[in-house]
């Protein structure tokens, strides 16, 4: 059994050292903060083939100017004179500039401009990650940080235990330790070797996912400020996520459709006019006549439907569509509030775990100091001190995991909570 345990230990150590040697060049890569990872992930995602400039958005404000068009009209006709049966040939060409200007359209033009501006702003917001990719980035970034830091925490103790295990045969032969103590050394070293192997696998998996999101070629050394605290959703804050943004856009579009239908049933006033030049050529009884003259005109067109007819059905349909999108928006808001409550609960639970782990670590350190004195006095076995150190290291690793959970909740909560003014843009 002792030979089997020793063989297992050797296999574990060799495997850990091989993985460590293979990954060492990658771990010497660049340091990466979470904010930098967000930028890289945003640049690495697929983009639409076109963008929207600020000048295009600003140009919509000039849409209140009259619409101007150029018109060219040509006409060829022949008319028979009723009494003499002589034909009248007439050819004419007219070129004009015409314009239309809405004097009153129930504020429909302004609503269209504001809706178009909002849509163009959403299309031009290409630097923002969607919620799904952001949540995946938080998870992968946190897991890679945890695997890297826990490896750094466990490896020194593991290497010391391995060195002591190598000396166990010599210590047994000199009578300094018993065979049982040597077996305890090997068992503890095997346990830490197994944990390191698991951490290496987790690190490789998280690093591969993070590289896929950010486009990095090598594994970075991620850094996190664990002093970040979760953002609380106060009464002055608003909630924002992809579902809520989509529902707000749907409400806006449904509202515009309803306003269009209602405006079509109300008074419409349009000013129209034209100015241009016309040339005509006529032939009657072998007599040619031709001339050119200016043409112009101006009119005010008033339209008011006396009977609604099918417009009432259209209004009812538009109102029903608006009500449906309002229900969707409320459902998205309830879902966002649920997620906020979940993130806050996760942060609170992580805070409690952190406090307990810190107290536990302090108690473990006190026990280590006491055991060190007892070991020096020959009252306790060195194995008890080793087990105490291993337990304290395990609690420190669990403390790191709790701190990462709090950091994840903090990032996800800060993502969904935004200032009120941004919520209604």
Give the confidence band of 85 by pLDDT, cuts at 50, 70, 90.
low
Domain count, the chain: 2
Give the confidence band of 48 by pLDDT, cuts at 50, 70, 90.
low
Instruction: With a cut of 50, say whether residue 235 has pLDDT above it.
Output: no
- Residue at 158 is within a domain: yes
415 and 385 share one domain: yes
- Residue at 107 is within a domain: no
The 268-284 sheet, strands edge to edge: 67-80, 87-104, 268-284, 287-303
Q: What angle do CA 104, 110, 116 make, to 5 degrees?
A: 145
14 and 150 share one domain: yes
Closest CA to 32 of 306, 274, 280, 217: 217
| Final residue in a domain of this structure, among 192, 224, 256 | 224
DSSP conformational letter for 286: T
323 and 215 share one domain: no
Give the confidence band of 49 by pLDDT, cuts at 50, 70, 90.
low
Instruction: With a cut of 70, say whether residue 237 has pLDDT above it.
Output: no
Taking the C-alpha atoms of residue 332 and residue 407, their distance in angstroms, rounded to an integer, is 25
pLDDT tens per residue, range 268-318: 888 888 899 988 888 777 778 888 888 888 888 888 777 766 778 888 888
Instruction: With a cut of 80, say whether residue 229 has pLDDT above it.
Output: no
Mean pLDDT across 189-212: 88
333 and 262 share one domain: yes
- Residue at 91 is within a domain: no
- What pLDDT is attached to residue 10? 44
pLDDT tens per residue, range 256-281: 888 878 877 888 888 888 899 988 88
327 and 388 share one domain: yes
DSSP conformational letter for 84: T
258 and 323 share one domain: yes
Closest CA to 405 of 145, 119, 160: 145
Mean pLDDT across 215-244: 75
User: For the chain, how far is it from start to end, CA to CA, in angstroms?
Assistant: 71
- What pLDDT is attached to residue 346? 92
Closest CA to 357 of 398, 386, 385: 398
164 and 255 share one domain: no
**Which helix (DSSP H) or strand (DSSP E) does residue 44 occupy?**
helix 34-44
**Exposed, middle or buried by CB within 10 Å (0-12, 13-18, 19+), for 296?**
exposed
Answer yes or no: are the C-beta atoms of 139 and 86 closer than 8 Å: no
Instruction: With a cut of 90, say whether residue 148 has pLDDT above it.
Output: yes
Mean pLDDT across 250-257: 85
- Residue at 413 is within a domain: yes
- Residue at 273 is within a domain: no
Give the confidence band of 188 by pLDDT, cuts at 50, 70, 90.
confident
243 and 170 share one domain: no
Tokens 């529902």 -> residue: 247
62-66, 252-256, 323-327: least confident range: 62-66
pLDDT tens per residue, range 356-409: 999 999 999 998 888 888 888 878 777 778 788 888 988 999 999 999 999 999
191 and 248 share one domain: no
Q: Which of 47-56, 124-133, 208-217, 257-266 has the highest mean pLDDT?
A: 208-217
399 and 338 share one domain: yes
- What pLDDT is attached to residue 209? 93
Mean pLDDT across 224-236: 63
- Residue at 209 is within a domain: yes
Give the confidence band of 420 by pLDDT, cuts at 50, 70, 90.
very low
Mean pLDDT across 120-129: 65
DSSP labels, 53-68: -HHHHHHGGGGGSPEE
* Higher pLDDT pick, 16 / 41: 41
Which residues are CB-neighbours of 314 under 8 A, at least 6 positions away?
A: 261
Tokens, residue 349: 């639970």
Taking the C-alpha atoms of residue 113 and residue 63, their distance in angstroms, rounded to an integer, is 8
136 and 246 share one domain: no
Mean pLDDT across 36-43: 88
Give the confidence band of 7 by pLDDT, cuts at 50, 70, 90.
very low
- What pLDDT is attached to residue 386? 78
- Residue at 278 is within a domain: no
Closest CA to 66 of 273, 296, 302, 297: 273
Taking the C-alpha atoms of residue 395 and residue 212, their distance in angstroms, rounded to an integer, is 32
Instruction: With a cut of 70, say whether residue 62 has pLDDT above it.
Output: no
192 and 162 share one domain: yes
Q: Which domain holds residue 166?
A: 1-47+127-224
Answer yes or no: are the C-beta atoms of 233 and 340 closer than 8 Å: yes
Q: Is 74 helix (H, G, I), strand (E, B) or coil?
A: strand
| Final residue in a domain of this structure, among 167, 191, 224 | 224
Q: What angle do CA 78, 82, 83 make, to 5 degrees?
A: 130
Taking the C-alpha atoms of residue 357 and residue 391, their distance in angstroms, rounded to an integer, is 12
DSSP conformational letter for 66: P
């Amino acid at each position: 059994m002792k030979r089997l345990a020793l063989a297992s230990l050797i296999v574990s150590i060799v495997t850990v050292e091989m993985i460590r040697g293979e990954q060492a060049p990658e771990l010497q890569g660049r340091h990466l903060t979470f904010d930098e990872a967000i930028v890289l992930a945003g640049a690495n995602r697929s983009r639409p083939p076109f963008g929207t400039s600020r000048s295009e958005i600003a140009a919509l404000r000039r849409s209140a100017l009259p619409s101007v068009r150029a018109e060219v009209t040509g006409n060829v006709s022949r008319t028979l004179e009723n009494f003499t049966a002589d034909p009248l040939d007439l050819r004419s060409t007219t070129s004009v500039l015409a314009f239309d200007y809405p004097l009153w359209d129930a504020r429909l033009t302004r609503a269209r401009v504001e809706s178009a501006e909002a849509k163009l702003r959403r299309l031009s917001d290409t630097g923002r990650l969607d919620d799904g990719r952001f949540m995946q980035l938080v998870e992968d970034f946190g897991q890679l940080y945890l695997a890297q830091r826990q490896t750094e925490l466990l490896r020194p103790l593991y290497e010391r235990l391995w060195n002591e295990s190598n000396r166990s045969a010599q210590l047994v032969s000199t009578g300094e330790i018993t065979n049982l103590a040597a077996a305890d050394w090997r068992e503890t070293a095997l346990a830490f070797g197994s944990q390191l192997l698991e951490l290496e696998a987790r690190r490789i998996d998280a690093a591969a996912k993070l590289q896929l999101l950010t486009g990095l070629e090598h594994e970075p050394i991620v850094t996190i400020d664990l002093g970040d605290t979760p953002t609380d959703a106060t009464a002055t804050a608003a909630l924002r996520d992809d579902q809520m943004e989509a529902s707000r856009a749907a409400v806006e579009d449904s509202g515009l459709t309803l306003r269009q239908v209602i405006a079509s049933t109300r008074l419409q006033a349009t000013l129209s006019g034209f100015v241009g030049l016309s040339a005509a050529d006529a032939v009657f009884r072998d007599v040619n006549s031709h001339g050119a003259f200016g043409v112009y005109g101006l009119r005010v067109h008033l339209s008011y439907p006396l009977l609604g007819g099918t417009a009432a059905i259209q209004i009812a349909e538009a109102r029903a569509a608006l009500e449906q999108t309002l229900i969707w928006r409320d459902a998205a808001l309830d879902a966002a509030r649920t997620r906020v409550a979940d993130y806050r609960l996760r942060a609170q639970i992580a805070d409690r775990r952190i406090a307990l782990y810190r107290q536990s670590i302090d108690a473990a350190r006190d026990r280590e100091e006491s055991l060190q004195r007892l070991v020096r006095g020959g009252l306790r076995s060195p194995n008890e001190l080793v087990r105490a150190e291993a337990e304290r290291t395990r609690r420190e690793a669990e403390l790191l995991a709790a701190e990462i959970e709090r950091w994840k909740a903090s990032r996800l909560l800060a993502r969904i909570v935004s200032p009120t003014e941004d919520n209604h843009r």
